[in-house]
Amino acid sequence: GLTIGVIGGGQLGRMVILEGRKLGLRFITLDPSPHCPGGQVSDRQIVAAYDDSQAMKELANACDVIIYEFENIDGAMVRRLEDVCAVPQGSRLLETTQHRLTEKKAIQASGVPVAPYRAITDRHEILNVMQEWNRSVVLKTTMGGYDGKGQWILQQEEDLQTLPDEMFTSGQEYILEQLIPFVREISVVVARSTTGEVSAFSPTVNLHRNHILHLSVAPAMIEQEVIQQAKELAIQIAEHLEVIGLVAVEMFMLPDGSLIVNELAPRPHNSGHYTFDACETSQFAQFLRAVLGLPLGSTQLHQTAVMVNLLGEHQNAFYSQFSQLSQEVKVHWYGKTEAKRGRKMGHLTFLTDSVSEALHLIEKTGIWEPLTLKELHEIGLETIK
């Protein structure tokens, strides 16, 4: 059978591997931490840093195909791997999406709108642009950020003083974006196969807390035309970028229903975890089908699904609720050893007939703070019935 090398042994790799094992595939994970979530379910783990070229060579020698579930790896390293092993996702998609400026340009080049943005290297530029736009802005590091790390919202000029000088001394580049007054955050995971076949999953509406995804709702409670538009834009990007594998497209919906794209991820996405239990084919299985050139599976959504993340701070409440969880609650625990605050430890997917019903069950567990009225609005509900 085929042996697949997985660069990155986080929960995304773990769930890809769990799905791949059903297809009879073998997996070797490369990740610096022993007992990482992906390593636990692999046939073998190479414990090494992502910049260890010797370890990468070892992985390439032992595998038929290499995939990545982690995007902060050196593009040049992946290019070298491409010379000796099949790396269907390729280095180009990685390099485009790992830098916010090249990513924004690529989205624009696909004909899809993004928030107005500027490249920034010093404090004065920010001030100038803020005066020019006369709008609240968000400053982001161009590389390596996730879960809102490396982001600063600046509402007025005085907020600039909260930024430490060190941020601008090493010539580091930032991106400054207009803060978008969105009414919904939605995302679409699209698969594109080596054969060019494309397929989009149902868009989700996403709710963040402290910049970390809290929950995702499928199907998204938005107008059918917007759902259609979201899928079309995501497919347009996947085709323009000639994605092989998956691309997750995060979007903002404006009050008039128009969409702008926030960012991309060249891999399975947290907002697509609902597909594991609610869809005919999961995003993880689809990812493998796409990179291996198998016909893509049906993305049909069988049931309403609400996926909620379990962070480090929820671990104890989760353990104490575990025996009470009914069978419409699907448990995914990643097996991470250290439960740090804000760290994604697992997720629960609630399969119900309605979003209200799922939210009711979620609230009943007592694991998370109940949704506020503002949060309910953000996912398209007035109240929980």
User: Of these, 185, 198, 308, 362, which contacts ligand ATP (CB under 6 A)?
Assistant: 185
For residue 351, give Cα distances in angstroms to 209, 334, 345, 358, 366.
Answer: 22, 20, 20, 7, 18
User: Of these, 77, 179, 376, 384, which contacts ligand ATP (CB under 6 A)?
Assistant: 179
- Choose between 69 and 185: whose C-beta lies nearer to ligand ATP: 185
Q: Which of 226, 247, 225, 245 is nearest to 235 (CA)?
A: 247
DSSP 82-140: HHHSB-TTHHHHHHHHTSHHHHHHHHHHTT--B--EEEE-SHHHHHHHHHHHTS-EEEE
From the list ligand ATP, Mg ion, none, pick the one residue 342 interacts with, judged by a Cβ distance below 5 to 8 Å according to partner type: none
| 384 burial type by CB count under 10 A (0-12 exposed, 13-18 middle, 19+ buried) | middle
Q: Which of 349, 89, 377 is nearest to 242 (CA)?
A: 89
Q: Which of 12, 4, 36 is nearest to 283 (CA)?
A: 12
250 binding ligand ATP? (CB under 6 A): yes
147 binding ligand ATP? (CB under 6 A): yes
180 binding ligand ATP? (CB under 6 A): yes
277 binding ligand ATP? (CB under 6 A): no
**Residue 345: which residues within 8 A CB-CB, separation 6 or more?**
310, 311, 312, 314, 315, 318, 333, 334, 336, 339
Q: Which of 17, 125, 138 is nearest to 67 (CA)?
A: 17
Provide the residue type at 157 as one letter.
Answer: E
263 binding ligand ATP? (CB under 6 A): yes
71 binding ligand ATP? (CB under 6 A): no
Lay out the site mask for Mg ion across 253-272 (x = CB under 5 A, - = otherwise): ----------x---------
Min. distance of Cβ 39 from ligand ATP in angstroms?
23
Taking CB atoms, the residue at the shortest distance from ligand ATP is 180
For the segment 198-217, give every residue that binds ligand ATP (CB under 6 A): 208, 211
Stretch that binds ligand ATP, among 142-150, 281-289, 317-325, 367-375 (CB under 6 A): 142-150
Min. distance of Cβ 69 from ligand ATP in angstroms?
13
12 binding ligand ATP? (CB under 6 A): no
69 binding ligand ATP? (CB under 6 A): no
CB 378: neighbour CB atoms within 10 A?
Answer: 18
146 binding ligand ATP? (CB under 6 A): yes
Q: Which residue has the tokens 């580091």?
A: 172
Stretch that binds ligand ATP, among 172-180, 224-232, 283-291, 345-353 (CB under 6 A): 172-180
312 binding ligand ATP? (CB under 6 A): no
Residues that bind ligand ATP (CB under 6 A): 115, 138, 145-149, 177, 179-180, 185, 208, 211, 250, 262-263
